[in-house]
Each structure stands twice: as C-alpha cells, then as structure tokens.
Amino acid sequence: MLVVPEDAKQTLRTKDFVLIAAVNFLIFSSWQTFPFVLPVYLQSLGANDAALGWVTAITTVSALLVRPFCGIILDRFGRKGIFLAGIAFMGLASASFAFIPVVGIILALRFVHGLAWGITSTSSSTVASDIIPPKRFGEGMGLFALSASLAFAIAPGVALELFHANGMVPVVMVAVATLALAFAFASTLKYRTLKKPASLHLSSMFNRSSVLPALIMLFMGATYGSLVTFLAIHASSQGVENVGFFFTAYAIAVALSRPFLGRIVDRKGYAPILLPGIVLVIVGLVVLSQAHSLGMFVLTAFLYGFGFAGCNSTLQTMAVADAEPEHRGAANATFLIGFDGGIGIGSVVSGWIAASLGYAGMYLCFAALPLVSAALFLVFARNRKPPNLAQEAKAARQPR
C-alpha cells in the first residue's frame, strides 16, 4: 500500500486546483464584461441613474433566489452536472444581450443572467472547497479568489474598449467564447464523490456557521456594488479618460496581496487581515469620492483592491472552512448570498443617493458601511479561528 506523505496531501500545486482556478477566472471574466459596459450602454439608450442601479441589483435578486437551491442540489446530487449546466446556461444568457436594445428587456435578461451566475459561481466555489487541503484553506481560498480578482482587473477594461470601439456585439462574443473555454476545462476536472449526500430539507439550504461571515460580507459587498455600477460614469463626469488603468492597478494590488494574505490567515487568524482590509476599503472610497484625476482613480484601485481582496477571501474562508464536505455547497451559497445581497443593495441605494448627492457624496456615504462590518466581527467573531489554529488551541488546552 502506497503511503502519501502528509506534505504531499497538503500541496496546492495540483492539476485540479490549477484547472478550477482557470475555470473560475474565465467565468468571472465573462461575468465582469457586463457590469461596467451595460450602465454606459443603457445610459446611451436613455436610462437614468436609478435605472442604472438595477443593472447589477437585478442580477443580485435572481442570484439570491437560486443560490440556496443550488447549494443543496450540489450537496445532494454532486458537483459536475450542475456546474457544467450552469456554465452553458450562463453562455446562452450572455449571448442574449446582443439582440434587443431596449432598456426594460435588457434588465429582464439580466435577471435571467443572474440566475445562471448564481448557479455557476456557487458551483465553482464549492468545487474549489473540495480540492483545497484543510491546513492550507486560507491560502488556497486566497489564491482561488485571486482568479476572480484578476478577472475583475482585466475584463472590464477590455470590455469598455471593445464597446467604445464597436458596440455591444463584440463584447457579447468575447463573453460567450470565454464561457465556452471554461466549459471545456471544467469537463476535465476530477470531482469529489460525496459519501453522505445532504438531505433535501429546508434546513440544509443554509449553513449556520456561514451566516455571520455572510452578514459581515453584505456590508462590504454594498461598497463593491456602488463602485462597479458608477465607476466608469463617475470618471467620465470628472473628465477622466483611460479609466481602464484603474483595473490594471487593481490587478497589481490583488496580485501582490493574495499570495501571502491567506498564509497569514492560516497562521495568525482572521483579524490581522480583515481589520486592516476594512480600513483600506474606507480610505479607498474616501479617495474615490474626491477623485478628479487618473492618478487618484489609480490610487483608489490600489487601496480598495488590496483591502477588499483581503476581506473577501478571509470572510469566505471563515464561512466555508468549518463545513463538512457534504455541506460545502450550502456554506458557499450562504456566504455568496451575503455577498450578492450587499452588491444588490449597494447598487440600488447608490443610484438613489447619487441622484440626490452626486457621485462624490454617494461614495462618501458608502465609506461608512465597512465600519458596520468591523463592529460585527469584533462583537461576534473575534474569537473564531481557522480549523488548523482551532485544533492547535484545543490540543494546548488538553491535560498532558
């Protein structure tokens, strides 16, 4: 019988981890082509700021509706079929944006797009959770989340350039082609076989230990919703061109932070990353509210990108690390419901506030929300530890 060394069991350098990270990058690249392009497109069709807020919010509503069911189905029937079906569904929904330039119809199509996104993103995170070794869960989730952050850094800028040059059709073509490649890669993954599939009960739709991280993420996600919905329009109102450099700076910030932030979580716990990250998000939003040059937008990208990347992966680690394999679908769904809920609320409310206070006033208002996240963590979760640190603490308390 071949004995696998413990270090080998804990490695992240596996074919399946690289594949799921690549698939996640492609999925997020397709998804991130639309939140920045569609507001500009709809504005050209006569939509007002309040309507533009629904570009992101309406996908949040549909994703919120489907995620609990997707989580329990993943835990009951396995990962592969649901994952591949979600990618295909997302490709069909993305293709639909090329055909009917009517504000109301586009928003209705975004609702369908959000359903597909809810299935696909929940599945992707769950597959990654199955692959990452427990003792390196923080680092693994950080590196996995890096794929999404890099997509955010690259795809919107490319999509905006394509849109300004040739309109919506090439944007849609790139989004669909990216998903086709994701489907091909996802077909080659090895998926976990569940030994004890979850039961189909309402209580299995949510994971209790994931609720608090999801709630903390809701307030952080609201800032993200305001940023993605109005960034390009805010830059245009300030006469700032080449806003694509924002995404380049964001990519650099994320690439610098992800490889080591997860290691700190595994070794030191959640607070050393989460609390400084919250401070950076606040400062980034304040700078964005006053931004009137490309340099200030780039500075925002570094501050917000570094802070939000750390908060997001840390909270997802907190939400999923303690879940049993047969409940990881529900754990990921619960966390992503908080993330989506925050984005949706932030997108709609930011539109209302921007209509009254302008974009600068709106971003200043949203800079207060991360303080709520910090308070929730300090009051209710400051003693929570990653699984490996919790085991070490338990062993230290046992009599010798």
The per-residue pLDDT of the chain, averaged, comes to 87
CA distances from 255 to 86, 223, 310 (A): 28, 21, 11
Q: What integer pLDDT is reported at residue 119 of this predicted model?
A: 95
User: Which of 380, 135, 394, 390 minimizes the C-alpha distance to 262?
Assistant: 135
40 against 395, higher pLDDT: 40
Across 202-224, average pLDDT = 88
**Predicted confidence (pLDDT) at residue 2 exceeds the cutoff of 70:** no
Q: How confident is the model at residue 200 (pLDDT cuts 50, 70, 90)?
A: low
Ranking 50-54, 264-268, 378-382 by mean pLDDT, the lowest is 50-54
The predicted pLDDT at position 95 comes to 95
CATH code for the part of the protein at 13-191+204-392:
1.20.1250.20
Structure tokens at 331: 């754990």
The dihedrals phi and psi of 353, each to the nearest 5 degrees, come to -70, -40
| Pair 285, 364: CB distance under 8 Å | yes
Contact 326, 195 (CB under 8 A): yes
- Rounded to whole angstroms, the Cα distance separating 168 from 100 reads 11
Give the residue carrying structure tokens 């650099």: 252
CA pair distance 320, 32, nearest whole angstrom: 24
Three-state DSSP at 8 gives helix
Q: For residue range 300-309, what is the model confidence (pLDDT) as tens digits?
A: 999 999 999 8
Are 223 and 281 in contact, with CB atoms under 8 Å apart?
Answer: yes
Q: Is the pTM of this model over 0.85?
A: no
- Alpha helices, DSSP H, located in 167-210: 168-186
Evaluate whether 241 touches 160 at the Cβ level (below 8 Å). Answer: no
Per the model's pLDDT, the better-predicted residue between 69 and 48 turns out to be 69
